[in-house]
Copies of this chain bind each other. A is one copy, B any other.
Amino acid sequence: MDVQGQREDNKMTQEGLFKVPNPHISALKEDFLYHITIGNKTHDLKDMFHDVKFVCFGGSQSRMRKFAEYMVEALNHKLPAGQGLVDIAHESDRYVLYKVGPVLSVSHGMGIPSLSIIFHEVLKLLFHAECSDVTFFRLGTSGGLGLEPGSVVITEEALDGLLQPYLEVPVMGEIKRHPSKLSKELAEELVSIAPKGFQTLIGKTMCTDDFYEGQARLDGAFCDHTEGEKMEFLRRMHQQGIRNIEMESLCFAAYSYRAGIKSAVVCVTLLDRLKGDQISTPHDVMAVWEKRPQQLIATYIRNKLGIEK
Contact = CB atoms under 8 A, between A and B. Distances in A.
A214 interface: yes
Interface string A169-190: 1111111100000000000000
Interface string A205-227: 00011111110101111111101
Nearest to A115: B111
Given A111-B112, A218-B24, A221-B120, A32 B280 contact: yes
B219 A31 contact: yes
A120 B229 contact: no
Nearest to A95: B110
Contact of A255 (B111, B113, B218, B222): B222
A213 B280 contact: no
Interface stretch (A46-54, A70-78, A158-166): A158-166
B22 A171 contact: no
A145 to B, nearest CB: 14
A86 interface: no
Interface residues of A, number: 72
A237 B24 CA distance: 23
- Oligomer copy total: 2
A25 interface: yes
Interface string A21-33: 1111100101110
B175 A170 contact: no
A120 B21 contact: no
A250 B25 CA distance: 30
A170 B214 contact: yes
Interface in A104-137: 109-114, 116-117, 119-121, 123-124, 127
A255 B211 CA distance: 14
Contacts of A280: 30, 32
A130 to B, nearest CB: 15
Contact of A111 (B113, B123, B278): B113
A214 B113 CA distance: 10
